[in-house]
Structure formats: structure tokens, C-alpha cells
Structure 1
Amino acid sequence: MKKLHVLPILILMGCSSAELVENWKNPDIVIFDASKVLLVGMTQNENARIDFETRLKAEFDERDIESMRSIDLFDVRFTNSKRTEKELDDVERSLLDKDFDAILLTKIVGSESRQSFRKTMAGLNNYNDGFKEDYRRHQDIYYDQEYYERYTVYHAETSLYCICEGKDRSLIWRGSIDIMDPDDIEKTVEDYVKLVVVAMEEQDLIFHKNIDVEDVDI
């Protein structure tokens, strides 16, 4: 398995609404560089799409890597209806003609409802408690309808595709990311973009770290 510098990812996850749960890289790829990347955020929320693609483009701009938001390339008619395989082939050909060599595609692939304790679990391992203390601390379980809180986890994927001339147009990398109950869309987008950037840096994909960090096996 490839060695990853996991510390930056773990630090980021500690205070983030986004969590990297799977990180797959094409085993035939060691380092991948791109000169011009199309950034695509697939969502019905137009404001979230604009914010996401804009923030992601800012990361590319900061590293002097040319990129373009899909909102600046696809017109409204393109995203308002389904496209055939032939039409998407034409899109790829058009991107090649415009000197694009990669696409970074992000999408929400599903969601699920989960349940958690509303109350803290402080004292759970307090072995000095007797029955009455233990019972009194947790008796809300019987009647408090809000003792268990329900929340939604959204499952997202970001995929990097090569569309290089003369090469297979194949998947280079895919990161599966869980988004935890996003009340603040702006912060969620910021967390997601940061996590994607760090994950790609760790895999030497387009973004590359400026300093050496000791390798850690995972």
C-alpha cells in the first residue's frame, strides 16, 4: 500500500464537517500533473455549486495551476437535461481542443439518517457509581423524546479523470467523503475543499507539498 502523510489529514478531520472515508489511487500512477483542469460540482443547489467551484479554483490559482469552473463553461441548458454518451464524448473532445487535460468531478452520491446521544457520556466509566447514581444519570432514556438526536450524513465523491490526448481517459483518483449534517453550507464547502486539497497533495496528484514530512505507514 502506498505510504501517506496522514498527519495533515487527521488534523483537518479533527475540526471539520467533512471526513475522508476512502482514498483510492490508480496503482499505475505515481505522480500526476495537469496543466488545465475543469472543476465540476454536481448539485441542484446553485449557490453551493458556485461557492464550491470558486473556492476550489482559488486553491488552483494559489498554486499557479490553470483551471476553470464548470459554471463558466456549461450553459444552463446543458445541466438542465440529461446528456447522451455521444454528447459527453463531444464535451471531452471540446475540452481537449481547449487544452484541458483533467477533470475534477465532485458529486453527492447518497445520504443516510443516523442517531446519536444528545447528552454527553461523561461519567460512563465512573466505576465508583452505585445503581442509583447510574440510574438517575440516564433515566431520561425512558421518556425524553429528544434524548437521541437524528442527523443526516451525506456521502460525496471527488474523482480526478485524465483526458490527455493519446492516453486512456481514465480515473486517476477517487476520494469518498462523508459530510456530517451540514447546517452551515459555507463552512461545509470550505472544509470539503481543504480536505480534497490535502488528500490530493498526499497522493502527489496535481498539488504537491513544498516540504518533506516523514512517511507514515497506514
Structure 2
Amino acid sequence: MKKLIILMALALIGCSSASLVTNWKNPEIVLFDANKVLIVGMTSNTEARAQFEEKLQDEFSKRNIEAFKSIDLFDVEFTSSEKSEEELSEVEQQLLNKDFDAILFTKIIGSENKETFRKRMSKMDWSLNSFNEDYLEHQPIFYEEDYYEEFTIYHAETSLYCICVGKERELIWRGNIDITDPVNIDKTIDDYIKLVVFALKEQDLIFRKEYRDEITSL
């Protein structure tokens, strides 16, 4: 039901390059609050990573929640080589020692190419009553290279982990989000962050929904 509510609300937001595909919440968790969050954007594109983490950090700051960017905490050497489970456990302990209680982890997990009809050809014309009309209308299929439009969909995933004492690495929430043919990096990041914040708010995780008193009359 919550997934349906989120999808319906997102439809009202307007044209967005990001869409929520799956939305899972740990059934044992009702509410989850965090006081200090580590934001991790996993990408080899340093500029995009910095921009994503900074904008997401701003969303936490607006709500008076302390958040730190991984790009500030992890040095270049840390991300330039493969890490072992022991090394990551040490990092997690360091975070616990510094009073972090949550990690919001985002990564691209795959991509695929899609193909669609050009928009002007997409509407079925029921007025084509003869072979001649039908052929003449659609003959560009033979010779127009851009009759089909190709675009790329990137599959991203954002996960919220609790690193509280006794509950290390516990998964609280995970959302799978598709990013369609990102051209404008600024808009793509804004759309993605807006979607993540909305989804977390709907699930009462870190962010809270704003409830309004309803006045009814008989």
C-alpha cells in the first residue's frame, strides 16, 4: 500500500528522470531516527559523487540532522583499492566510536539500453483504412535512421543501514530506482534525491511526514 501511495505521489511531482521501482522496509522497524549519518555515493566519477553527497547532505541539514559526506571521510587511497571485510569492519568501528548511527549508501547496480518509437509515430491512427494510407504513413521505417529512439536506463539502489551498537550493518530500508537517459547531471541528482527523501519520509525513516489536523463537520 505504501508503495502505491509513493508512486501516486511521485506522479504528481511532474516530469522526473528518476522513478521508484521497489521499496522495501525492514518489517521489524516502525520508526527509525538517526542523529549522525554517513552519506556514501559509490561512483568513480569524483565530481558527480561530490555533488550528490553535498546535495543530500543539505537535505539532512535542513532538518537539523548531522550528516557527513564519505568523500570527506574516505581518503583517495581508501577508494582506489579493494578492501577486505576486516578493513570495512574497522571502518565501521571507527564510525561507531565517532557516534555515527546510520549509513545511507547509493550505487549504480546496472544499466540497459531501450528502444522506443519516435513520439510522432507513437499514436495509433485508426483512420488509416487502406494499405496505401498505412504504407505512406509509416514508410519512414525504411529510411529514417532516427525512427527508433535509443535511450539508457540506469538501475540505482539506495540502502539505509543502522550501525547502532548491537545492530551493526542491519538493513533498515532499500529502494531500487531507475534513472532514465540522464542528460543533465544537476537535474538527475535533484530528481534522485527528491525521490529518496520522499520515500524515507513516507516510511518514517529519519525524516518525518508532516501531519495536518483535519477539521470535519457534521
Structure 1 residues 71, 26: closer, same or farther in 2, change over 3 A?
Answer: same
Residue-by-residue CA offset, 1:121-159 (whole Å, 9 max, x unaligned): 4651x4333223332221111222221121111100000
Higher-RCO chain (CA-CA 8 Å, sequence separation at least 6): 1
> Is the 2:200–2:206 contact (alpha carbons within 8 Å) kept by the matching residues of 1?
yes
> What pairs with 1:25-40 in structure 2 (closer than 5 Å)?
25-40=25-40
**Partner Cα distance (2:93, 2:165) in 1:** 9
* Distance verdict in 2 for CA 1:146–1:191, change over 3 Å: same
Residue 128 (structure 1) aligns with: 127
Residue 194 in structure 1 maps to residue 189 in structure 2: no
Q: CA deviation at 1:10?
A: 2.5
**AA matched with 1:72:** D
1:207 paired to 2:207: yes
Gaps of 5+ in 1: none
Per-residue deviation, 1:213: 9.8
Q: Does structure 1 conserve the Cα–Cα contact (< 8 Å) formed by 2:2 and 2:202?
A: no
- 1:166 match: 166
CA displacement at 1:168 relative to structure 2? 4.4
Residue correspondence of structure 1 range 3-42 to structure 2 within 5 A: 5-6=5-6, 7-12=8-13, 14-42=14-42
TM-score by length of 1: 0.91
Structure 2 residue runs without a partner (length 5+): none
Q: Is the partner of 2:137 in helix, strand or coil?
A: helix
Q: Deviations over 1:3-48 (max 9, x none)?
A: 7643432223x41001111101111111111111000000011110
Q: Relative to 1, partners in 2 of residues 1:137 and 1:201: Cα closer, same or farther, differing over 3 Å?
A: same
Q: Distance in 2 between matches of 1:94 and 1:67?
A: 16
Aligned CA RMSD, in angstroms, stands at: 1.9
Among all aligned residue pairs of Structure 1 and Structure 2, give the percentage whose two residues are the same amino acid.
59
| Cross-structure match for 1:61 | 61
Q: TM-score, normalised by structure 2?
A: 0.91
Could you give the per-residue CA deviations for residues 57-85 of structure 1, whole angstroms, max 9, x where no partner exists?
00000001110000111111101111110
CA distance in 2, matches of 1:166, 1:122: 55
Paired residues of 1:106 and 1:157 also in contact (CA < 8 A) = yes
Deviates more, 1:180-189 or 1:140-149: 140-149
SS of the residue corresponding to residue 50 of structure 2 reads helix
Contact 1:42 1:107 in 2 (8 A): yes
The separation in 2 between residues aligned to 1:3 and 1:144, in whole angstroms, is 41
Deviates more, 1:128-137 or 1:155-164: 128-137
**How many residue pairs end up in the alignment?**
212
